[in-house]
Structure 1
Amino acid sequence: MIFSGTFTALVTPFKNGKVDEESYRNHIEWQISEGVNGLVPCGTTGESATLSHDEHEQVIKICIEQAKKRVPVLAGAGSNNTKEAVSLVRFAKEVGADGVLLITPYYNKPTQEGLFQHYKYIASEVSIPIIAYNVPGRTGVNLLPSTLGRMFREIPEICGVKEATGNLQQVADIIEECGDKLCVLSGDDFTVLPTLAVGGHGVISVVSNIAPKLMSSLCVAYKNGDLKTAQKIHYQLNALNRVLFVETNPIPVKTGLHLMGRMTDEFRLPLVSLQPESLTKLKNVMQKSGLI
């Protein structure tokens, strides 16, 4: 499967209010050199909600250019406006994305039938591999396994799901519903190993922004049948996984990259800098992990 293993949900660096292209390209290059299997620009971690349409397209295009087909690029192109999503997906395809990550429509809380029709319409307008992104904690709606199964059977472009409910029963239900041909990716770093254990295929990861080699090594070890090493890495990452969600993602992970000297810790409102108590926690964990 092209979308298996470790895919990094890339942060978007800013400098003086604009996308910091140099830092972004350097970050992408480092990710590839550290062994990640793919890249995801313009997801939640990439602060897509505060990017203008021009910036959204810029960030996707830069990522594809920098990756140079060395790893697949899964472009974040979702919206709660179906026609707007079509426009973003069309652009991603035109500039060479290998697939798109489409979040379930947020805020307007569609029914399960509405979810199905949303994805069906997008696929009918632009044919490209689609990974559905299910994160009820942000969207207010849960893409149920039965609906995903119907999508997988009836919409050829649906090839996977980023499952970010943190619910392993739902992950298992999806695999039971769809079989092993649907690419099931963990959307929560703390569930990567359990997701792999029940038949998942990898992760779209936040923590791999700062520890790409570790997360990639976890997935490789599991794939190679080395459960002991996979478990060891799982526990190495455990404290990082916790601290990177001490405040709203991507505030902690971008701050961590700033502590590593890789980019500024500039955010756009309504996101603000990490609070002092949380910053102390982050520094302590990163120091113990040997990252700073």
Structure 2
Amino acid sequence: MFSGSIPALVTPFRDGALDESAFRRLVDWQIESGSSALVPCGTTGENSTLSNAEHHRVIEVCIEQAAGRVPIIAGCGSNDTMNALLHMNFSKKCGASAALVVAPYYNKPSQEGLLAHFSYLAEHADLPIVLYNVPGRTVSDLQPETVCELVRRYPQTFVGIKDASGDLSRVTDHRMGIDAKFAQLCGDDELALPFNAAGGVGCISVTANVAPALCAEFQAACAANDLELARKLNDKLYPLHYAMFEDSSPGPCKYALAQVHDWIENELRLPLVPCNDSARAAVDKALVHAGLV
């Protein structure tokens, strides 16, 4: 259902509020640069600091501005199952193509709890789900057996996964354990090349916020099995992938965007603050290496 370069969009702020104008420009630039879908209100979108009203407005604006040009995978995750359902129902009403639903954070549910959480959402919301596993942030780890069981139970609902576990063996685990069509999307930019080689079909990317055209070209090269070109583009992007996490994300990403475009502010919401000098230096160097400045 999904493939290619899919940016997990930042949420632009200006003077503490959502900067709708900058966000609309960001959506247009991403689509014009070849991004195959968009994810508003993911981790990179600082969804944990958005009120529900703001969260829904970001999704609504993204869908409005995209105007059907690319699918929108709305970030709907929560550590509260009922709140995740609220986000999913709103996103469905607005015209989202799917929901990105992260494993519940902080609560630290068991695998049985994860099965129950995602099963409840599958049974009570009419929207395809892209699972999101990022144990480095959530603590809970969506194991391959659990992923395969969810797809077995609800093959029409669970259409893919964003895997940021860092464990490349899971691509094969999922591929061999799932009979239905299932999009495996990398959640770590620096691992996208081996991830795709193992059976992945794209990346939900932080770096694509800053380098959408390069990331789209890289994913197209992977899809065409043009390994030489994919390696060349990966080498060009590689320092930027790491620079995006030299400080708490999305701090370096917002700093990078502010260097590339004068219409977006380097502004985050507490408890996040703008990235430190070391991260800025790494971003500056990586932008030059990628030919973006």
Q: Which runs of 5+ in 2 are unaligned?
A: none
Counterpart of 1:19 in structure 2 is 18
TM-superposed CA distance for 1:272, in Å, is 0.5
Query: The residue matched to 1:40 in structure 2 has which SS?
Result: coil
The one-letter code sitting in structure 1 at the alignment partner of 2:265 is T
Alignment of 1:254-265 (within 5 A): 254-260=254-260, 261-265=262-266
TM-superposed CA distance for 1:26, in Å, is 0.3
Whether contact under 8 Å (1:186, 1:204) holds in the other structure is yes
Counterpart of 2:291 in structure 1 is 290
Task: Supply the distance in 2 between the matched residues of 1:274 and 1:77 (Cα, whole angstroms).
Answer: 26
Task: Supply the distance in 1 between the matched residues of 2:127 and 2:173 (Cα, whole angstroms).
Answer: 26
* 1:69 aligns to 2:68 (yes or no): yes
TM-superposed CA distance for 1:127, in Å, is 1.4
Task: Supply the distance in 2 between the matched residues of 1:176 and 1:242 (Cα, whole angstroms).
Answer: 30
TM-superposed CA distance for 1:179, in Å, is 4.5
Whether contact under 8 Å (2:175, 2:199) holds in the other structure is yes
Query: The residue matched to 1:39 in structure 2 has which SS?
Result: coil
Counterpart of 2:93 in structure 1 is 94
Whether contact under 8 Å (2:248, 2:275) holds in the other structure is no
TM-score by structure 2 length? Answer: 0.97
Task: Supply the distance in 1 between the matched residues of 2:291 and 2:226 (Cα, whole angstroms).
Answer: 24
Greater shift in the superposed pair: 222-231 or 52-61: 222-231
Counterpart of 1:166 in structure 2 is 166
Counterpart of 1:44 in structure 2 is 43
TM-superposed CA distance for 1:14, in Å, is 0.1
Whether contact under 8 Å (1:27, 1:262) holds in the other structure is no
TM-superposed CA distance for 1:287, in Å, is 2.2
Query: The residue matched to 2:120 in structure 1 has which SS?
Result: helix
Counterpart of 1:142 in structure 2 is 141
Alignment of 1:118-133 (within 5 A): 118-133=117-132
Query: The residue matched to 1:203 in structure 2 has which SS?
Result: strand
Query: The residue matched to 2:38 in structure 1 has which SS?
Result: strand
Task: Supply the distance in 2 between the matched residues of 1:202 and 1:180 (Cα, whole angstroms).
Answer: 18
TM-superposed CA distance for 1:290, in Å, is 2.0
The one-letter code sitting in structure 2 at the alignment partner of 1:288 is H
The one-letter code sitting in structure 2 at the alignment partner of 1:158 is F
TM-score by structure 1 length? Answer: 0.98
Counterpart of 1:279 in structure 2 is 280
Whether contact under 8 Å (1:180, 1:199) holds in the other structure is no
* 1:185 aligns to 2:190 (yes or no): no
TM-superposed CA distance for 1:180, in Å, is 6.8
Post-superposition Cα deviations, 1:4-56, rounded to whole Å, max 9, x if no partner, equal 11111000000011000000000010000000100000000000000111100
Query: The residue matched to 1:159 in structure 2 has which SS?
Result: strand
Alignment of 1:211-230 (within 5 A): 211-230=211-230
Task: Supply the distance in 2 between the matched residues of 1:225 and 1:277 (Cα, whole angstroms).
Answer: 36
Task: Supply the distance in 1 between the matched residues of 2:153 and 2:179 (Cα, whole angstroms).
Answer: 15
Counterpart of 1:198 in structure 2 is 198
Post-superposition Cα deviations, 1:197-225, rounded to whole Å, max 9, x if no partner, equal 01111110000001001111111112122
Whether contact under 8 Å (2:246, 2:278) holds in the other structure is no
Whether contact under 8 Å (2:8, 2:39) holds in the other structure is yes
Task: Supply the distance in 2 between the matched residues of 1:264 and 1:78 (Cα, whole angstroms).
Answer: 26
Whether contact under 8 Å (2:236, 2:289) holds in the other structure is no
The one-letter code sitting in structure 2 at the alignment partner of 1:184 is Q
Task: Supply the distance in 2 between the matched residues of 1:82 and 1:9 (Cα, whole angstroms).
Answer: 22
Post-superposition Cα deviations, 1:262-290, rounded to whole Å, max 9, x if no partner, equal 40011111000111122122112212322
Task: Supply the distance in 2 between the matched residues of 1:167 and 1:38 (Cα, whole angstroms).
Answer: 24
CA RMSD of aligned residues (A): 1.0
Query: The residue matched to 2:95 in structure 1 has which SS?
Result: coil
Task: Supply the distance in 2 between the matched residues of 1:200 and 1:157 (Cα, whole angstroms).
Answer: 19
TM-superposed CA distance for 1:166, in Å, is 1.2
Whether contact under 8 Å (2:151, 2:180) holds in the other structure is no
Whether contact under 8 Å (1:106, 1:138) holds in the other structure is yes
Q: Which runs of 5+ in 1 are unaligned?
A: none
The one-letter code sitting in structure 2 at the alignment partner of 1:66 is Q
Counterpart of 1:78 in structure 2 is 77
